[in-house]
Structure 1
Amino acid sequence: MDTVASRPHRLAATPISRSMSIVARVYGYPPAHNAGSEWMLHSMLRPLAERGHRVAVWLSHPGTIDRRYEIDGVRVVPYQEGTDFAAHAQKADVLLSHFENVPLVTGLAGARRIPVIVICHDNFATSFHNAAGADLVVYNSEWIRRDGEIFYARYPREFLPRHSIVVRPPVLAEEYRTEPGDCATLVNLNADKGGDLFWQMAAWTPEWTFLGVRGAYGQQIMPPPRLPNCEVVDGVPGKEMREHVYGRARVVLMPSLYESWGRVAVEAFASGIPVIAHPTPGLVESMGEAGIFAYRDDVNAWIHALMSLKDPDNWARASRRAKARSRELSAAPDLDNWCDAVESLWDGGRRRPSRVRALGTLVDTTEMGQA
């Protein structure tokens, strides 16, 4: 069987004679929607715009911005103005989506024989199922890629994505680098991110000042009354994280139940801020040797790790490891590989054969043979 593992994960760059039209359909987008997946997407679309391509994002849910706007060369069409998405999408050279919008976008791509890209931010079966048959699947980490390959190995060849690539959530370190502050900081106070543990630690370690940042999703867990060492601030756009979050953080805490990568950790590393985290596969991969790990159900281990960073020498050593990991990730060619892969989907204007889903299987919509 031809598995994803047997295929190259980097598509060769193809010279292009004109600017491509790249159209994405997603739930929300920066600066109004500040989830890590959306900032990853923006970090990937931004360099395509810098290469001269026409990049547009159409939103599928009402947001706080109700007029079209542009951010770093990416044009964003809010839900309130985006009722003609299907008509616009059929003129695109490449379509792109993630999460719940994938079935709609892959359906349009199949009907119009437009190359389609799907980003998999997690290892859920639904994500892999929806990405089946895509021209390019982007995994946000190596462990997600491995799980994807295991998933697709159970199915016939025609179910597989045509190509795949790993793009670890890009973080431009210079946009986050600052002088660390003095707080133990958690970004997103919902239960899955560790909001309960965060406030337990605050109660048991009055030596520390705790800063909680409201997240973009999930019910936020507020501190119990009479904890004078706690502060909660509203969530801020990604471009303001340097000033309002990392510029106040001495340590970042990530007791997350699930992280497929852990962008916040990498952003903190840009400033040499140590991160204590629950060892999810994604955080173990993203943090590497710079990580300080403790299981989220062991509050004593978290208190011990946090108190050890009160020692200036311990903190300095952890900070050096964080900066080294930031440099290592910044040197990775993921974004160049991604842009080359997108450009390789362009075939000079000819619409290629597409496969569409039918009752959980895939069928060829032309008589031109398999891709």
Structure 2
Amino acid sequence: MNILLESRAFYPSVGGLEMMSRGLATAWQDGGHTVRVVTITPLDRDAELDALTVERQPTSAGMRRHVRWADVFVQSGISLRSLHWPVWTGTPLVIIHHNLLSGGQDTGVRAWLKRRATHLGVNVAVSGPVAETVPGPVVRIPNTFRPVYDQPDAADESRDGLLFVGRLVSVKGADLAIEALRRLRERGVDTTLTICGDGPERGTLERQVRDADLQDAVTFEGWTDPDELADRYRRAEFLLVPSRYETFGIVALEALASGCPVVAAETGGLLEAVGACGLLVPPDDAEALADVTERALRSDVRNDLQSAMPAHVNRHRINRIATDYLHLLRRVVRVN
């Protein structure tokens, strides 16, 4: 098949959508298909990807040429700016939804148009909560994780301390992780918390640490490159994902692929990302987070959770996910 993948955010930008788009495009091409990627993300000073054909900031003429060439047009993240092309050319359309198709920044006419646009083709939702917001025909295919985190032997590593990974904004709940640690230390639980990530709330979180006299127990690492983060996952006893909401929660998968169990908020797509490999707590509840984390630190609990990881991680490996997409793309092309 000739597959045209539009991913408005793409390498060298870093994020879950960018990771999924690059992983899918590469896997499809490795499977013998011809893939082109179009994106508005500039290359800046980074080197272009040798393994993929990428056109950045294409002109209207370029988009028309690409869509006519394609057997199927895949949008990784819905974009109204290019949806008219497959309508005009009759090219089959698949839209991947990484986020809820309600709320957020899109309101009024723009939100209405996006909902209507889901009837133009077949939609893929990365989680159940996302699927519930898509009016058009929708199937569910979960997210994958970067291969650097695929460390099946890491479950046997010696582990110490808790880990938080994510952007330092309120919805990610780093403040809840710090408060849970404070309560654990009050109970005599001698553990630490490493925070990997950065964002506008870092100063507030650092003050929270000082006010709680936790400077010796909390370390802020800032943004962490994938290789170093893979090592962090290998060495942590648990990853804390106390998000107030997540449409999926790729960091949970990253940790599980590295043998690190998860304590996560029972919200959004985190239930699907964690599966039977972690423990869930009510969102926005630091006391419950402390209670469950204290139980999770027991070796027998951790061993039980780790035993469920191989099957769960295998379901989310890129080759499995890319194959699921290819089955869908073939059906869409045949129908049209």
TM class by smaller structure: 0.7 to 0.9
1:265, 1:286 → 2: CA distance? 6
Q: Which amino acid aligns with 1:287?
A: V
Aligned length in residues: 309
2:3, 2:176 → 1: CA distance? 42
Which of 171, 178, 184 does residue 192 from structure 1 map onto?
A: 171
Specify whether residues 327 and 60 from structure 1 end up closer, same or farther in structure 2 by C-alpha distance, changes over 3 A only. closer
Specify whether residues 51 and 192 from structure 1 end up closer, same or farther in structure 2 by C-alpha distance, changes over 3 A only. same
1:226-256 C-alpha deviation (Å, 9 max, x unpaired): 612222234345566423x312322111111
Specify whether residues 66 and 271 from structure 1 end up closer, same or farther in structure 2 by C-alpha distance, changes over 3 A only. closer
Query: Residue in 2 aligned with 1:119?
Result: 96
1:145-203 C-alpha deviation (Å, 9 max, x unpaired): 3443xxx3xxxxxxx44xx4321112477842133642311111221111221222344
2:334, 2:281 → 1: CA distance? 49
1:180, 1:134 → 2: CA distance? 51
Specify whether residues 337 and 323 from structure 1 end up closer, same or farther in structure 2 by C-alpha distance, changes over 3 A only. closer
Q: Which amino acid aligns with 2:119?
A: G
**Contact preservation (8 Å) 1:176, 1:268:** no
Query: Residue in 1 aligned with 2:196?
Result: 213
**Contact preservation (8 Å) 2:100, 2:133:** yes
The alignment's TM-score, normalised by the length of structure 1, stands at 0.71
Q: Which amino acid aligns with 1:48?
A: W
Mark the runs of 5 or more structure 2 residues left unpaired by the alignment: 103-110
Q: Which amino acid aligns with 2:13?
A: H
Query: Residue in 1 aligned with 2:275?
Result: 288
Which of 201, 216, 219 does residue 228 from structure 1 map onto?
A: 216
**Contact preservation (8 Å) 1:68, 1:78:** no
Query: Residue in 2 aligned with 1:50?
Result: 30
1:65, 1:345 → 2: CA distance? 38
Query: Aligned ranges for residues 1-371 of structure 1 at < 5 Å?
Result: 20-30=1-11, 32-62=12-42, 64-65=44-45, 68-70=48-50, 73-79=51-57, 82-83=58-59, 85-93=62-70, 94-99=72-77, 102-125=79-102, 126=111, 129=115, 131-148=117-134, 152=135, 160-161=136-137, 164-171=138-145, 175-177=149-151, 178=154, 179=157, 181-188=159-166, 189-206=168-185, 207-214=190-197, 219-221=200-202, 222-224=205-207, 225=210, 227-236=215-224, 238=226, 241-243=229-231, 245-327=232-314, 334-346=321-333
1:234, 1:115 → 2: CA distance? 42
Specify whether residues 214 and 109 from structure 1 end up closer, same or farther in structure 2 by C-alpha distance, changes over 3 A only. same
The structure whose residues are more often helix, as a share, is 2
1:259, 1:63 → 2: CA distance? 29
Shift of 1:327: 4.4
**Contact preservation (8 Å) 1:289, 1:321:** yes
1:96, 1:287 → 2: CA distance? 27
- The answer to which structure, 1 or 2, has the higher relative contact order (CA under 8 A, 6+ apart) is 1
1:319, 1:332 → 2: CA distance? 22
